[in-house]
Amino acid sequence: MNDSLTDGFVLLRRYQDCDSDEIYHAVRESIAELSPWLEWCDESYSLEDAEEFIRQQSEWWENGEVFNFAITDYQTHTYCGGCLLNNINRGDRFGNLSYWVRSSRVGKGVATAAVKLVANYGFEYLGLNRVEIVVAVENGGSIRVAKKVGTTQEGTLRSRIQIRDRVYDALMFSLIPSDL
């Protein structure tokens, strides 16, 4: 099974032990933008949190639970964020796709490129028929990425996402192999 993907603009690869420092700095740089949408991202985020995240990845990947890719710049190998498939439903052959990009790389096409690569990975290597992206209705950045990728917006899911003590309605977007 392929564990690195590229389109010549970004390189996605499995996380490595040496990534924890770069993850830590990317998250710290991006707390203001990410914390409203990511439960784990807040002012207390530490290097130890990044190290624990790295430790979990191999187990999740090997168990087929979460396929989490580090997004890096193809030329410089600078860490840009993460893109993953999780909540894989093997029976109905679909999964959830999520992404985040560090603040200094937002608006440069990084997330759009990563989403396309990871969706294709789901179709090609995991045999998925469908990839879903569920985004809080107030998360404009993630909504823009989902639309740029060519998803179909299927509807609004009431009270679908809870982040800390706040509940959000969410938009359901989907991709199928013929969309890409």
The string of pLDDT tens digits covering residues 61-86 is 999 999 999 999 999 999 999 999 99
CB 163 within 8 A of CB 39: yes
pTM for the model stands at: 0.95
Q: Quick check: is 48 in a domain?
A: yes
Q: What is the pLDDT of residue 37?
A: 96
Q: For residue 150, tell me if it sits in a domain.
A: no
Summarised one tens digit per residue, pLDDT across range 127-166 is 999 999 999 999 999 999 999 999 999 999 999 999 999 9
- Enclosing domain of residue 84: 4-131
Strand segments (E) across 15-114: 67-73, 79-89, 94-101
In a domain, 121, yes or no: yes
Decide if 140 is inside a domain. Answer: no
Residue-averaged pLDDT of the chain: 96
In Å, how far are 81, 102, 129 from 25, measured between CA atoms? 11, 9, 36
Number of domains in the chain: 1
Helix (H, G, I), strand (E, B) or coil at 12: strand
Residue 169: inside a domain, yes or no? no
Kindly tell me the burial class for residue 78, based on how many C-beta atoms sit within 10 Å of its own C-beta (0-12, 13-18, 19 or more): middle
* In-domain check, residue 176: no
Q: Tell me whether residue 157 is in a domain.
A: no
Domain of 88: which CATH number?
3.40.630.30
- Residue-level pLDDT at 1: 56
102 with 73: CB under 8 angstroms? no
d(CA 121, CA 1): 10
Q: Is 177 inside a domain boundary? A: no
Q: Is 126 helix (H, G, I), strand (E, B) or coil?
A: coil
pLDDT tens readout for residues 25-55: 999 999 999 999 999 999 999 999 999 999 9
